């Protein structure tokens, strides 16, 4: 990954990074945007759901009068492919402190017909205008220091090894949630990691949309293998993240009837809970 390596030497900044370039949209007309979905954010052959969420989130940030996603609900319809796509947005309501919008991403199938890939409904606001009050009982995940955690580059274990996205992310997994990679899943529905962008770009609200769906599925630690496609994912951005690496904790409590929830929490370097998400995913029981 020479690109990521050289970028690390000169830390990328918000607005000029792999993530910014690969989520950049070209306005075709008001509210309608073209994008070439990058092959750099794929897992096996599928475009990562968090990357798609960031693309749609960026389109709405442009289309709505408020720029920060507060709550984004996405329903995943069909699998996206790298390549051309169009994002169509609709402004549902604009208010003084919150605006609500909708966005869909479409691609063309082999017959040239537009197919909808993902649809989101979202409310946006301005994080910087919120009061500083915090009353929380949530505590950051107990993660070992980053140099005691492991990423795909650290070993023979195939941790996302066949995925292009691995080269774009700084992902260091807590060894206590890495049993699955060694053939010894813990049986617990937990996954924890340090998270950043490989080129050193600091997190912002759009990067949080990526962070909540970037870890391996908790299902792996529950001893399941195979695909765990997201049906729906909702993320709440609660605070603008401070610069530096994020801590991401994902928990599954209930696997039932072939579906499970994945609850993610994202903490910034200042110890603030900056995002919460929950997704409903399907599992192939094995």
For a copy of itself, the binding residue among 36, 258, 270, 271 (CB under 8 A) is: 258
114 near a copy of itself, judged by CB under 8 A: no
For a copy of itself, the binding residue among 12, 85, 212, 239 (CB under 8 A) is: 239
**How far are the Cα atoms of 18, 89, 219 from residue 170, in angstroms, in the given order?**
13, 31, 21
53 near a copy of itself, judged by CB under 8 A: no
DSSP class of 40 = G
- Alpha-carbon Rg of the chain, whole angstroms? 18
89 near a copy of itself, judged by CB under 8 A: no
116 near a copy of itself, judged by CB under 8 A: yes
Residue pair 162/44 in contact by the 8 Å Cβ criterion: yes
For a copy of itself, the binding residue among 2, 29, 135, 156 (CB under 8 A) is: 135
- Listed residue (202, 199, 264) closest to 49, CA to CA: 264
Site for a copy of itself in 140-199 (CB under 8 A): 188-189
- Listed residue (187, 188, 153) closest to 1, CA to CA: 153
Residue pair 69/60 in contact by the 8 Å Cβ criterion: yes
71 near a copy of itself, judged by CB under 8 A: yes
Strands 273-282 and 259-267: antiparallel
The residues that touch a copy of itself, with contacts defined as CB under 8 A, are: 70-71, 73, 75, 77-78, 92-93, 98, 100, 102, 116, 119-123, 127, 130-138, 188-189, 222, 231-232, 234, 236, 238-239, 253-259, 261, 272-273, 276, 278, 280, 285
């Amino acid at each position: 990954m020479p690109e990521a390596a050289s970028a690390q030497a000169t830390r990328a900044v918000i607005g000029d990074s792999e993530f910014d370039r690969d989520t950049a949209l070209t306005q075709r007309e008001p509210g309608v945007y073209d994008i070439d979905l990058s092959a750099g954010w794929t897992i096996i052959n599928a475009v990562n759901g968090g990357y798609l969420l960031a693309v749609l989130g960026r389109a709405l940030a442009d289309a709505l009068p408020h720029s920060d996603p507060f709550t984004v609900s996405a329903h995943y319809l069909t699998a996206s492919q790298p390549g051309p796509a169009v994002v169509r947005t609709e402004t549902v309501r604009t208010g003084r402190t919150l605006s609500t919008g909708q966005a869909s991403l479409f691609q063309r199938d082999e017959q040239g017909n537009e197919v909808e890939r993902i649809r989101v409904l979202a409310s946006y606001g301005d994080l910087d205008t919120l009061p500083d009050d915090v009353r929380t009982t949530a505590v950051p995940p107990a993660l070992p220091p980053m140099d005691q955690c492991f990423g795909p580059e650290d070993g023979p274990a195939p941790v996302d090894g066949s995925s292009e996205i691995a080269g774009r992310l700084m992902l260091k997994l807590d060894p206590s949630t890495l049993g699955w990679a060694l053939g010894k899943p813990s049986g617990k529905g937990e996954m924890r990691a340090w998270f950043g962008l490989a080129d050193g770009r600091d997190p912002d609200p759009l990067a949080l949309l990526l962070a909540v769906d970037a870890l391996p599925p908790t299902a792996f630690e529950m001893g399941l293998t195979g695909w765990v496609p997201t049906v729906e994912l909702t993320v709440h951005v609660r605070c603008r993240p401070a610069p530096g690496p994020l801590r991401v904790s994902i928990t599954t409590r209930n696997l039932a009837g072939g579906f499970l929830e994945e609850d993610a929490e994202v903490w910034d370097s200042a110890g603030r809970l900056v995002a919460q998400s929950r997704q409903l995913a399907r599992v192939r029981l094995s």
